[in-house]
Structure 1
Amino acid sequence: MGVHLRCILVAALCASTPALAQATRTWVSGVGDDANPCSRTAPCKTFAGAISKTAAGGEIDAMDPGSFGALVITKAITIDGGLDGGKVLASGTQGITINAGAQDVVVLRRLSVNGSGPTLGTTGIVFNSGKALHVERSQVRGFQQDGIRFAPAAGGQLFLDDVVVSGNGNAGVRVGGTAGAVTAFISRGTLSGNRQGLWLGAGSTATVSQLTASDNTEAGIWAQTEDGGKASLNVERARLTHNGVGLHAASVGSGSQTLLRLSRTAVDANVLASTRLIGTGTVLSFGDNRMAGVSASTCPAGAVSLEAAALPGLPRGGVFAPMQLGVLGAMGSVTSTVSGTLPRGFRLEGGVFSGTPEEGGDYPFSVTVTDGNGCTASRDFTLSVACPPMSLSPTGLAAGTTGQVFAETAFVHEGGEGTTTFVIDGALPRGLQLRDGVLTGMPTQPGSFPFTLTATDGGRCSASRSYTVAVARSSDFQEATLQLQASANPTYAGDAVSVTARVVGGQGEPTGTVTFFNGTEVLKVVTLQGREATHALATLAPGKYTLSAAYSGDTRFGGVDAAPLSLEVLPAKAPADESDDGCGCRQSGAPGGALLMLLLLVLNRRRRDAPTPG
C-alpha cells in the first residue's frame, strides 16, 4: 500500500511541472515577473529573465516603459525595446555582453543603454563573438569606458543605424583592434561628448554615412594601427565639428597602414585642427569636402603645423617611452626629415620618437614635415641625456726634472664605457706628451705648467680635472736659442728652396730633433746634426708663408722655439725666347727692328726714282 502511494505522488508531481519549451517570442514589462513564462499575458521583469525562455533566433519585446537590466547574450536573438524604448541601466557593470556563436546574428532595436548610477557602468554594449551585430534606433550613454565595443577575436560585422552614443569616457564606438577582420557600417548616427567619437583599430574596415561627430574631446574619428596592422575608413556626408581634432589617422611601426577617404564631408570648428596625421597615416579627399584651415592645392601660412611636444630627459641607457609626433592640418600622407644630430640609439621612425640613447649630452635638432599637398612645417627639439657619475684619477701628478725621464702616469676614466679619448686644454712642458691616456716623456723645459684634462668615453660622457706639472731645472741645464732662415727669400714659384734651423748657445753638442711648421701644419721632423737641421720645401704657389721651427731639447739643452720666418714666393719667371738668338730682333721696339725698317724704305724710294729702261 505504501509503495502504491509513493508512485501516485511522483506521478502527480511530474504532471504539475510545466514543459521547458522555449518560445520564439517573449515579452518583458515594467510590472512583469521573471517567474512568469514571459508570454504577452504573463511577461517577465528583465531581459535576463526572458532570454532563457526565448528560443535561438527568437525575439524579446518590451511591452511598456521600464528598466529591464543588464544581460549576457549567447545566441542569435532580437531584442526590441518597443515604442517607448526599453532601458538597460548598468551601474558598475557592462550593459549588454554578447558571447554568441560563430553564425549568430544579434539585433538590438529601440533600446536606451545607460551607465549612470552611483558607480558608472563599464561599457555599454560589448560584442566578443558572433557573426553580426545590428544596433538600430538606440541610445548608449554614460559609461566609464566605451559606449559600443565591437572587437570580436574571430571577426564579424557591425551595423549601426540611427544610433546616438554620447558621454562615454573613451570611445563612443570602438571597432577592431584584435586579430580578427571586422567590418562596420554606420549610418545616420551621432557620436558626441566622448573621448573619441569613432575609434578604429587594426583589422577594421568601416563605412560611415550621414554621421555627426561633435564635442569629442580628442577626435571625432580616431584611426590608428601599429606594427603591421591595417585599417581603412570611407566617410560619406559626415559632419565633424567641435572635437579636439576632426580626424586622427596614425600608422606607426613597420608595415602598418591607416587610410581615411572623405567625400561630401564638413570638418570645421575643431579645437586643434581638422586633421592630425602620425607616421604614414593618410587622409584622402575626393575634392568635394569642406575642410577648415586646409586647402587641396595651396598652403596658406599655418595650414600645417607640428603638434607641440617636449622631449623628456632621461639617463644614458634609459629606454625612451615612445612618443608620437602629430602633424596638424595635413592632408594626404606626411614625410619627415631630421636636421641635426641624434644620440646613437635614439630615432624618429614612423612618426614616433623611441629608442635607448647610448650617448649623453644635449642634442638640439629640427624636424621638418611635408604633406601630400607640399605644405611644410618645422619644429625645434632638444633631447637631454644625462651622463652617469664619472671621475678622473689620479688626483695629482709627480714633479719632473729637465733632462730626466718623467714618472709615467696613466689617467683612468672611472665610470666610463667603451673607448676613452683624452683632450688637454693648456700646454705641457716641452718633451712631455699624452699618448693614449698616459703622460710620458722627458721634460726639457723648466717651470710650472697648469692644464685641464678631459676624458670622454664612447658614449660622449666626460669627466675633467685640473692638473699642474712642475719641472725643476737640472744642475747642468743649458738654455739655447733657435735661428731659422731660408735659402732664398723671396723666391720664385717652382724654384727649390730650403729652410735651416740652428741651435745657438750653450756648451757642447746638442742632440734631439727639430720640427718644422707651415703655420700650424707640421712639415717634417728632422734629427739635429752639427747643431743644424734642414728641410727642403715642396713646390710652393705664389704667396706669403709663415714658417717656424721647434727644437725638442735633450738631457742638457732646453727645448726652444724659433722666431717665425715670413717667406715670400713670387710668380715664376718668364722663360727666355730661344729663337731670338740674343739680338732682340723679335722684341717690339728693338733697335735692330727699327734699322731694318729704315733700310727697306730707302730701297723702295731708289726703285721709284730709277729711269725706266728703253
Structure 2
Amino acid sequence: MVAFFRCLLLAALCAASPALAQATRTWVSGTGDDANPCSRTAPCKTFAGAVSKTAAGGAIDVLDPGNFGPVTLTKSITIDGGVGGKVLALGGSGIHVSAGSQDVVVLRRLSLSGSGTTPGTTGIVFTSGKALQVEHTQIQGFQLDGVRFTPAAGGQLFLEDVVVTGNGEAGVRVGSASGVASAFVSHSALTGNRRGLWLGAGAVATVNALTASGNTEAGIWARTEQGGTARLNVERARLTHNGVGLHAASVGTGSQTLVRLSKTAVDANGLATTRLVGTGTVLSFGDNRMEGGSSSACPAGAVSLEDVALPGLARGALFAPVELSVLGALGTVTTSVSSALPRGFRLEGGVLSGTPEEGGEYSFTVTATDGNGCTASRELTLSVACPAMSLGPTTLAAGTTGQAYSQTPFVHEGGTGVSTFAIAGKLPRGLELRDGVLVGMPTQPGAFAFTLTATDGGRCSASRSYTLDIARAADFQQASLQLGASANPMHAGDAVSLTARVVGGQGEPSGTVTFYSGTQVLEVVTVKSREATLSLSKLAPGTYTLSAAYSGDARFGGVDAAPVTLEVLPAKSPGSSDDGEGCGCGQSGGPGSALLMLLVLGLGLRRRSAPRPG
C-alpha cells in the first residue's frame, strides 16, 4: 500500500512539471503582471519578469506600447519591441548582456532612454556572449555610451537601422581586452554624442551607409596604445558637423590604428576633416570627398599641427606625455624635431615624453609630414626647472703679489655630475681658474671683482659674486712694456719682427710675453734680457692692431703694452724697388734714356731759334 501512494505522488509531480517549464515565446504588456505566465493572454509587465519565463533561444514580444524596464540577459534570446517597446533606465544601464560564449542576443524595434531625474549610465552593455544584433532601434540620453560592446573574450556586433543620439560619451563603443570585437554597422546614425563611433584596441569594424554628425569631439574616434590594434573599413558614410570628422591615434610601442575610406564625404566639421596622432593611419581609395583635406598638391593650410602648450616641470620629473595631433592629414604621419631636446626627453611616434635630465629653456620646431608629402610645422618651448643649488665658499682668501695663491676648490652645491666653471670679470694677472680652483702667482695688486658660474652635468647653474684682494709685496716693482715693429708700413710677403721690452725696475725680469693680433693669441715668448721677440711673415694686405702683455714674475708686476697699428701694403710687383730703378732710367738703352735725349735736343733747338735781345 505504501508503495502505491508513492507512485501516485510521483505521477502527480510529473504531471505538474510541464506547468513550470519555460516557454519559447512570451509576451509583455503595459497592463500585464509579472506574476502571470507571460502568455499572450496573460502577459507579464516587464522584460525582467518575462525573461525568467522564456527558454534559451526563445523570444519576448511586446503587445502594446509601454515602458518595460531595464533587464539583464544571460542567455540566447530575442526581444522584439513591436510597435512601442521602451526601456527607461534610471541610474543604471538599460539592457545588460552577460551571456555564454555561444549565446546570441537579438534586440529589435526598441526605444532606450536614459533621460530622467536620475539619468541612466549606458543604453546597452555587452560584456560577454557570442553576438549581439540590434535592429530598428533608438538609443538616447545616457550619461556614458549608447552601446558599449566590450567583451573581454571578443564577439560580434551587428547594428542595422539604429539611431544613437545625445549620449555623454560614445554613440557606439567597440573594443576587447584580449579578443577581437567585430562590429558591422549599416544604415545607422550616430548624432549629438561626444564621439560617434568609438573604436579601441581589439576592434575590427565595417561601416556602411553611416551618418555621424553633430558629435562634439569626433564623428569616428579610433585609438590604440601599447601593442593594441584597431581596424575600420568605411564605405558610403557621411561625417559632417562634428568636432573633427575622423580621429585616428596610435601611440606606444607596437600599436596600430588603421582606417580605410571609400565613397565617404567628410565635410563641414568644426576643426578638421581628420586628426592623426602618432602612427594612426587613414587611407583613402581616392573616391572620397574630403573638404579641406590634404592632397598630392598640398594646398596652403591643408595640413596643420594642432596648437599645444607644453607644461613646465622640474629636472628629473616624469613628463606627462603630450600627443601632437596633425589636422587634415592622410596616410601615416612622420614627425621630426629641429634641434636637440634635453637628455632623457624624446619625440617618438608623434608623442613628446620622457624624464628630462637637463634643465633650461628649450625652443624647437616640430615638423609633421603626411602620406601625401604635405607638411606642417609648429614652434614649441619646453621649460625644465633646475633644483636649488649654490656655490661655496662664500668668500675668498686674500693674496700677495709674487707669492703662490692658495685657495680651496670651489664647490657646486646641489649639482649633479661633473660641473664646469666660468668667470665673468677680471682676475689679477698671473692667476687662472683651472678645474674649479684658482691657481698661479698673482703679479698685479688690487681688488678684483668677478662672478663665478658653475654648471653641472644637467645644465643647471649657480652663480656667486666675489672680490679677490691682492696685496702689494714689499719688493714689488711696477714696470712698463714697450712694443715696436721692425717695419711699419710693410709689404705683404715681407717679414716683420715684433719686440716687447720690459722697462723700469731693478734687476732682471723673467716671465713671458703674450703677443696678440686683436684678441687672437699669436704666441707666448719667454723674456730674455728684458725682451721678447716674435717674427711674422705672409701677412695679407690690411691694417692690424698688435698688442702684448707681460706676465710679471715674483718681483715685477704684469703689464700691458700700448697697442701698435701695423699697416701691410700690397706685395711689390716683380722688378720694382723703392729707389726709382723701376722706371728704367738707369738702364742703358732703356726707354727712359731715349726720352731724356729727345728732351735735351728739343731744348737746344728752342735756344737757337729764340730772338736775341736789342
Check whether TM > 0.5.
Answer: yes
Distance 1:121 1:391, change over 3 A: same
1:409 counterpart SS class:
coil
Report the CA distance between 1:17 and its aligned residue. Answer: 5.8
Report the CA distance between 1:573 and its aligned residue. Answer: 5.0
In the alignment, does 2:304 pair up with 1:309?
Answer: no
Q: Within 5 Å, give how 1:219-368 maps onto structure 2.
A: 219-294=218-293, 296-368=295-367
* One-letter amino acid of the structure 1 residue matched with residue 218 of structure 2: A
> Structure 1 CA distance, aligned partners of 2:340 and 2:69?
60
- Render the CA deviation track for 1:214-267: whole Å, top value 9, x for unaligned: 111100111112223222222222222221111111122233322222222222
> Structure 2 CA distance, aligned partners of 1:590 and 1:60?
132
Q: Within 5 Å, give how 1:443-462 maps onto structure 2.
A: 443-462=442-461
Report the CA distance between 1:530 and its aligned residue. Answer: 1.7
Question: For residue 215 of structure 1, what is the aligned residue in structure 2?
Answer: 214
Are the counterparts in 1 of residues 154 and 176 from structure 2 also a CA contact under 8 Å? no
> Structure 1 CA distance, aligned partners of 2:156 and 2:2?
63
Question: For residue 54 of structure 2, what is the aligned residue in structure 1?
Answer: 54
> Structure 1 CA distance, aligned partners of 2:20 and 2:533?
119
> Structure 2 CA distance, aligned partners of 1:354 and 1:423?
32
Q: Within 5 Å, give how 1:3-152 maps onto structure 2.
A: 20-84=20-84, 86-152=85-151
Question: For residue 437 of structure 2, what is the aligned residue in structure 1?
Answer: 438
Using the TM superposition, name which of 402-411 and 189-198 deviates more: 402-411
Report the CA distance between 1:535 and its aligned residue. Answer: 3.2
Report the CA distance between 1:161 and its aligned residue. Answer: 0.4
> Structure 1 CA distance, aligned partners of 2:249 and 2:345?
21
> Structure 2 CA distance, aligned partners of 1:230 and 1:569?
75
> Structure 1 CA distance, aligned partners of 2:287 and 2:588?
84
Are the counterparts in 2 of residues 177 and 200 from structure 1 also a CA contact under 8 Å? no
Are the counterparts in 2 of residues 548 and 563 from structure 1 also a CA contact under 8 Å? yes
Question: For residue 612 of structure 2, what is the aligned residue in structure 1?
Answer: none
* One-letter amino acid of the structure 1 residue matched with residue 187 of structure 2: R
Are the counterparts in 2 of residues 192 and 215 from structure 1 also a CA contact under 8 Å? yes
In the alignment, does 2:501 pair up with 1:509?
Answer: no
1:136 counterpart SS class:
strand
1:48 counterpart SS class:
helix
- Render the CA deviation track for 1:118-173: whole Å, top value 9, x for unaligned: 32222221222222211101112222211111122222221100001111111110
Are the counterparts in 1 of residues 122 and 147 from structure 2 also a CA contact under 8 Å? yes
1:81 counterpart SS class:
strand
> Structure 2 CA distance, aligned partners of 1:279 and 1:227?
12
Report the CA distance between 1:508 and its aligned residue. Answer: 0.6
> Structure 1 CA distance, aligned partners of 2:27 and 2:220?
38
> Structure 1 CA distance, aligned partners of 2:344 and 2:203?
33
> Structure 2 CA distance, aligned partners of 1:589 and 1:411?
81
Question: For residue 520 of structure 2, what is the aligned residue in structure 1?
Answer: 521
Report the CA distance between 1:4 and its aligned residue. Answer: 10
> Structure 2 CA distance, aligned partners of 1:318 and 1:112?
51
* One-letter amino acid of the structure 2 residue matched with residue 204 of structure 1: A
Are the counterparts in 1 of residues 153 and 176 from structure 2 also a CA contact under 8 Å? no
Report the CA distance between 1:412 and its aligned residue. Answer: 1.4
Question: For residue 167 of structure 1, what is the aligned residue in structure 2?
Answer: 166
- Render the CA deviation track for 1:183-227: whole Å, top value 9, x for unaligned: 211111111111100011222222212211111110011111222
- Render the CA deviation track for 1:327-359: whole Å, top value 9, x for unaligned: 222233323332244222222221222111222
Question: For residue 610 of structure 1, what is the aligned residue in structure 2?
Answer: none
Using the TM superposition, name which of 302-311 and 431-440 deviates more: 302-311
- Render the CA deviation track for 1:511-535: whole Å, top value 9, x for unaligned: 1122222322223322222212233
TM-score (norm 1): 0.88
Query: Which runs of 5 or more residues in structure 1 are unaligned?
Result: 595-614
Are the counterparts in 1 of residues 167 and 194 from structure 2 also a CA contact under 8 Å? yes
Are the counterparts in 2 of residues 369 and 377 from structure 1 also a CA contact under 8 Å? yes
* One-letter amino acid of the structure 2 residue matched with residue 24 of structure 1: T
Backbone CA RMSD of aligned residues:
2.9
* One-letter amino acid of the structure 2 residue matched with residue 50 of structure 1: A
Report the CA distance between 1:58 and its aligned residue. Answer: 2.0
Are the counterparts in 2 of residues 336 and 370 from structure 1 also a CA contact under 8 Å? yes
Are the counterparts in 1 of residues 294 and 374 from structure 2 also a CA contact under 8 Å? no
> Structure 2 CA distance, aligned partners of 1:526 and 1:426?
26
1:396 counterpart SS class:
coil
> Structure 1 CA distance, aligned partners of 2:492 and 2:466?
47
Are the counterparts in 1 of residues 212 and 239 from structure 2 also a CA contact under 8 Å? yes
> Structure 2 CA distance, aligned partners of 1:289 and 1:12?
71
Q: Within 5 Å, give how 1:414-429 maps onto structure 2.
A: 414-429=413-428
TM-score (norm 2): 0.88
1:110 counterpart SS class:
strand
Report the CA distance between 1:69 and its aligned residue. Answer: 2.4
1:83 counterpart SS class:
strand
> Structure 2 CA distance, aligned partners of 1:569 and 1:149?
87
Distance 1:445 1:295, change over 3 A: closer
Are the counterparts in 2 of residues 28 and 45 from structure 1 also a CA contact under 8 Å? yes
> Structure 1 CA distance, aligned partners of 2:4 and 2:285?
86
Using the TM superposition, name which of 364-373 and 456-465 deviates more: 364-373
> Structure 2 CA distance, aligned partners of 1:12 and 1:376?
84
Question: For residue 561 of structure 1, what is the aligned residue in structure 2?
Answer: 560
* One-letter amino acid of the structure 2 residue matched with residue 454 of structure 1: T
Are the counterparts in 1 of residues 334 and 349 from structure 2 also a CA contact under 8 Å? no
2:49 counterpart SS class:
helix
Report the CA distance between 1:592 and its aligned residue. Answer: 12
Q: Within 5 Å, give how 1:385-424 maps onto structure 2.
A: 385-424=384-423
* One-letter amino acid of the structure 2 residue matched with residue 140 of structure 1: I
1:50 counterpart SS class:
helix
Are the counterparts in 2 of residues 341 and 364 from structure 1 also a CA contact under 8 Å? no
